[in-house]
Amino acid sequence: MTIDYFVAFETDNITGKGRNNMNVCIIGCGNQGGCFAGLMSKEQDIGRIMLADMNINSAKNVRFLIERLGRKSQAKDISVDTVNALDADDVARVAKGADLVFNGILPFCNIPIMKGCLKAGAHYMDLYSLTVYNPETPYNETIEAQLELDGEFKVAKLAALTCEGVQPGWVNLAAKYIIDQMDTVDSVIIRGLTWVESNDLIAQGPEKLQIMLNLHLFPSSYIQDGKVVRMDSVDQGEEFEFPEPAGKKTVYIDSLTAVERIIQMSTDKPIRLIMTKGAILGGTSDIKETIFRAVREQALKHPNTENINIVETLASSLKSMANMNFKEALENGRLIKGAEASSVDVTGTRDGQKAHHIFYYLSSLHEAVKHIPWVGNSAYGTTGGMPIITALMLLRGEITERGVITPAQLGNPKYIFRKLEERGHFLCEKLELSSIVHKSFIRKRNPSQSLLL
C-alpha cells in the first residue's frame, strides 16, 4: 500500500525579544562570508555589518557587492577591516560592538575566533569542524576542542553555534529529527553533493584549492559498532538519486568529520553504522574522471615529468569558482545548472515495524542567484540555509540556550525546516514502514522539482 500527500511542516511560530540595529561581524569574506553578509544586509533589524578579512580588498569587494543590491539592502552601515583570525585579541578588536561573529573560514580558525568572541562579548557561529577520529587532524580544528569552551560561553551568557552548514549542519538536525522518531536505529548514512554543470574543470570551495583538497583526501572511514573503520582500498562509489536538478550522481565514502561525531553525541540509542558519502568537486564529470582529466592535462603540459602530485595537479588544473558572479555566469552560458544536495538515510524500527526514513535537502543554482547574484548553490545552499536562519533566531531572542551548541541540540526542527523552505530550499521526506510506503513532502516553490520515489 502506498500513500502520497503533499504538506508543509506545521509548527507554532517562535517569538523572541530581539531589538533593532543589531550588529554583525563577518570574519572571512570569501563565498560563504560574502553570502552571509549579503543576506544579513537585507534584514531591516540589522544595523552595522563589519567585514573583516586578512585581505582588505576581499572585504571591500563584499561591501561593493552589497552596495550594488541597491534598495534590496537595508544595511545602515558597512565597515571593512583587516584581521588575523588566528589571533584572539585581534578578533576581539574587530568584533568590538558586534552582537554576533560569523566565522566564514575553515576549521583551523574556529578556536581563536571563539576565544575572540569571549573577549568581545559576542555570540559565535561557524560552518564546519573536524573530529579527533581522524588522527591527521590537529586537535584545535575538532568539534571536541570546541565543546571544551562550553562552560566559558555559558558563564559569559553567550551562544556558540557550531557546524551550522549543511554537512555538518542540516544533516545533523535532520538525523536527530529522524532518530528521535525511531525505537531503534541500525544505520545512519549521509550522502552529499556539491555540483555544477559546466564545460570547464571546476571546483567549488576556497580560493586556495589545495586547502580544500587536503581537507577531503584523508583516508575514507566510517563508524561501525562505535569504532572507527579506516579503509585501505579506494571506494568504488555508489550511484545515488538526488532530487532534480542533481539527479543520479556517484558518491564515495568520505573521511570522518564532525558529522558522525555529532550524530553519536545526539542520542543514547546504539547505532551499528554511521557513514558519510559525497561528491566534492563540480563539473560535468564525477570525481574519478575529474582526477583523470586533470592528471592527463598536466602530463600533456609537462611531458618530461616523471612524478605527478595528485593534490598539486588538481589545484593547478581546476578553475576556482571563488569570486565568480554566478548570475552572469549562468546568463552567458559558462555555467548551466547546479545544486547543493544532501540526504539523511536512517534504518531501524519504529512502532514495532522495520523502518526506512530518508530526508532530502537541495538548493539549486538558479534559486541561489535569485537571492544573492554573486553566489552559487554551494554558498547559498550552505550559508543561505541554516546559518542565516539560526543566526537571526539567536539575534532576535528565539534561541535562548547558551554555551557551545551543535545543530542536533537546536530545538523545534520543524520550525527551521519551514524557514528553509521559505528561503527557496527544497526538502522532501520518504518513510517506509515494513510493507507500507508513506511519503511526506514539504510544499515546493517550483512544481517541476517534485521528486518521484
**79 and 187 together in one domain:** no
pLDDT in the model for residue 236: 74
Q: Residue 202: what pLDDT?
A: 58
The verdict on 193 and 154 lying in the same domain is no
Q: Residue 278 in contact with residue 168, Cβ under 8 Å? A: no
pLDDT in tens, 229-264: 998 776 778 999 999 999 999 888 988 999 999 999
For residues 180 and 129, membership in a common domain is answered with no
**pLDDT at res. 232:** 78
Residues of the domain holding 153: 12-161
Among 376, 337, 355, residue whose Cα is nearest residue 249: 337
Over residues 328-338, the pLDDT tens digits come to: 888 888 888 99
Residue 205 scores a pLDDT above 90 = no
**Can you tell me whether residue 96 is helix, strand or coil?**
coil
Choice between 316 and 153, residue whose per-residue pLDDT is larger: 153
Residue ending a domain, among 161, 178, 208, is: 161
Q: Are residues 291 and 430 in the same domain?
A: yes
Please report the beta strands in 141-182, taking only residues with DSSP state E, as ranges in sequence order: 159-161
The verdict on 56 and 180 lying in the same domain is: no
Q: Is residue 387 domain-resident?
A: no
434 confidence band (pLDDT: 50, 70, 90): confident
What is the rounded average pLDDT of the residues 149-162? 98
pLDDT at position 314 is 58
Q: Is residue 405 part of a domain?
A: no
Q: How far apart are CA 403 and CA 153, in angstroms?
A: 5
| Cβ atoms within 10 Å of 252's Cβ, excluding its own | 19
pTM of this structure: 0.86
The answer to whether residues 149 and 176 belong to one domain is no
What pLDDT does 73 receive? 73
Residue-level pLDDT at 309: 64
Same domain? For 140 and 251 the reply is: no
Q: Among 161, 189, 208, where does a domain finish?
A: 161
DSSP string, 262-276: HHHHT-SS-EEEEEE
**In this structure, are 111 and 33 located in the same domain?**
yes
**CB of 181 within 8 A of CB of 424?**
no
> Could you read off the pLDDT of 360-388 as tens digits, one per residue?
999 999 999 999 999 899 999 999 999 99
Same domain, 131 and 245: no
C-alpha 109/C-alpha 112 separation (Å) is 6
Task: Indicate if the pLDDT at residue 359 is higher than 50.
Answer: yes
User: Does 91 map to a domain?
Assistant: yes
What's the CA dihedral at 196, 197, 203, 204 to 10 degrees?
Answer: -10
Flag the least confident range among 180-184, 238-242, 248-252, 402-406: 248-252
DSSP at 373 = T
Segment 206-226, tens digit of pLDDT:
444 444 444 455 678 999 999
Among 33-37, 192-196, 206-210, 321-325, name the most confident range. 33-37
pLDDT, tens digit (0-9, with 9 covering 90-100), for 424-433 = 999 999 999 9
Question: Mapping DSSP to helix (H, G, I), strand (E, B) and coil, where does residue 426 land?
Answer: strand
**Sign of the CA dihedral with 303 first, then 309, 312, and 314 last:** positive
Q: What integer pLDDT is reported at residue 453 of this predicted model?
A: 33
Distance CA 378, CA 369 (A): 11
Residue burial 46-79, b: 16+ Cβ < 10 Å; e: rest = bbbbbbbbeeeebbebbbebbeebeeebebeebe
The helix/strand/coil state of 110 is: helix
Is 4's pLDDT higher than 80? no
Q: What would the grid cell of residue 12 be? A: 507554532
If one compares 75 and 131, the residue with the highest pLDDT of the two is 131
The stretches of 166-286 forming alpha helices (DSSP H) are 170-179, 209-216, 258-265
pLDDT at 266 over 90: yes
Instruction: Please tell me whether residues 124 and 246 are part of one structural domain.
Output: no
Q: How confident is the model at residue 440 (pLDDT cuts 50, 70, 90)?
A: low
Beta strands 184-198 and 202-203 are unpaired
Query: How many domains are contained in the chain?
Result: 2
Query: Who contacts 202 (Cβ-Cβ below 8 Å, separation ≥6)?
Result: 196, 281, 282, 283, 318, 319, 320, 321
Cell 566534492 -> residue? 280
Q: What are phi and psi of 351, to 5 degrees?
A: 55, 40
Identify whether 242 is part of a domain: yes
In this structure, are residues 167 and 191 in contact, taking their beta carbons and an 8 Å threshold? no
292 and 322 inside one domain: yes
pLDDT at 203 over 70: no
Confidence class for position 305, pLDDT limits 50, 70, 90:
low
Distance, CA of 100 to CA of 97 (rounded, Å): 9
Mean pLDDT, the chain, whole residue set: 85
Residue 326 pLDDT: 84
Between 284 and 139, the higher pLDDT residue:
139
pLDDT band at 284 (very low <50, low <70, confident <90, very high): very low
The answer as to whether 48 is a domain residue is: yes
> Domain containing 127 — which CATH number?
3.40.50.720
Task: For 139-152, write each residue's pLDDT tens digit.
Answer: 999 999 999 999 99
Residue that finishes a domain, picked among 122, 138, 161: 161
219: Cα separation from own chain's centroid: 21
The answer as to whether 26 is a domain residue is yes
Cα 149 from Cα 125, distance rounded (Å): 13
pLDDT, tens digit (0-9, with 9 covering 90-100), for 84-120: 999 999 999 999 999 999 999 999 999 999 999 999 9
Q: What is the CATH number of the domain that holds 278?
A: 3.30.360.10
**pLDDT over threshold 80, residue 171:** yes
Phi, psi of 421 (to 5 degrees): -65, -40
- Torsion-angle region of 28 (φ positive above 0: left; ψ -120 to 50: alpha; else: beta): left
On the question of pLDDT at 17 being above 90, the answer is no
Q: Which of 154, 26, 141, 140 is nearest to 80 (CA)?
A: 26
Q: Is residue 144 part of a domain?
A: yes
**303 and 363 assigned to the same domain:** yes
Would you say residue 452 has pLDDT above 50?
no
pLDDT at 6: 32
Per the domain annotation, does 402 fall within a domain?
Answer: no
